[in-house]
Amino acid sequence: MNRRQFISRSAALVAAGAIAHQELFAGMAAKRNKGRIGIQLYSIKDELPKDFEGSLKKLSNIGYSQVEPYGFRGEKFEGYTMKELSNIVKDMGMSISGTHCGTGMLPEDTNAPQWDSWKKICTELKSGGGTWAILASLPGKPTTLDDYKRICAQFNRMGEVGKKAGVKFAFHNHTEVFGKLEGEIVYDYMINNTDPKLVFFQMDLGHTVNAGADCLAYIRKYGNRIPLWHASDFDASSRKSADDKSGQYVEVGKGSVPYQALFALPKTGGLQNLTVEQETGGDIFESCKVDFDYLKQFKWTKV
């Protein structure tokens, strides 16, 4: 081996060693993700199609330990089955907590073919190690209390189907469920008219504040029914009026959600799963880091 070959080979070995060190360091960082802060992947919906695994790695390097896909209807998420996604994020030190999914109004008979999609959502989620099958929004377009009565009955059936598949059912709120129908606040009506063993709720804290509702009071009253929180934030001062729902969502800890009081609740109000959802503009990964860094201060978020 002449001097030129020796130098060339040595440089290649140094470069390879540097790459290996970087990969090892990244792997170690991922393996340290032992906290309990998850993230809804809708937060980075614009980045995933550009670089799917690279985007997930960025979340892992921030410190997130769980991911929650969105828009799942029983087939694939961004081209991956739940089991495939589970394997990808596992290598990054993360897991699938659950998934947001959608369905319309379904017939009473759970053996009807219209239920096949929901059954597949549950079984696929289970195959990926996920626990929570979360309905992202209301089925249909309810306008009366009778409509919500039918929704509550469907929620019970969805919970029963999920239970048979080994997963749990929850409903994720937007702002509209805090309005009144026939003297009833819709959100309270749904909690009080569904089976507490089959139906749970994922409270989106930012949406709740945007609706003018008191998320702290809800967690105090219904904590065992609301074991999932979507950690978002909303600046209530940005609303032009009590009916305005177009105000500004902000990074967690910078808005009107009373996080300090929420995390000071006894046993943290029954919280089982904490998932960030960020819907701001700008550098989304930087915002996701701001969210994580704020939430990691609380005792609950640590194992």
Per-residue pLDDT of the chain (303 residues; tens, 9 = 90+): 543 443 344 444 334 444 343 444 444 444 568 899 999 999 999 999 999 999 999 999 999 999 999 999 999 999 999 999 999 999 999 999 999 999 999 999 999 999 999 999 999 999 999 999 999 999 999 999 999 999 999 999 999 999 999 999 999 999 999 999 999 999 999 999 999 999 999 999 999 999 999 999 999 999 999 999 999 999 999 988 877 767 899 999 999 999 999 999 999 999 999 999 998 889 999 999 999 999 999 999 987
- Residue-wise pLDDT for 243-299, tens only, equals 776 789 999 999 999 999 999 999 999 999 999 999 888 999 999 999 999 999 999
- Residue 271 near residue 230 (C-beta atoms within 8 A): no
Q: Say if residue 302 is exposed, middle or buried (CB neighbours under 10 Å; 0-12, 13-18, 19+).
A: exposed
Confidence at residue 281, expressed as pLDDT on a 0 to 100 scale = 86
Write phi, then psi, for 22 (nearest 5 degrees): -60, -45
Indicate the domain borders of the chain.
1-31, 33-301
Query: Which two three-digit tokens encode residue 235?
Result: 């600046």
> pTM here?
0.89
Confidence at residue 132, expressed as pLDDT on a 0 to 100 scale = 98
- Residue-wise pLDDT for 68-98, tens only, equals 999 999 999 999 999 999 999 999 999 999 9
Confidence at residue 31, expressed as pLDDT on a 0 to 100 scale = 57
Q: Report the top-level CATH class of 33-301.
A: alpha beta
Q: How far is CA 265 from the centre of its chain?
A: 21
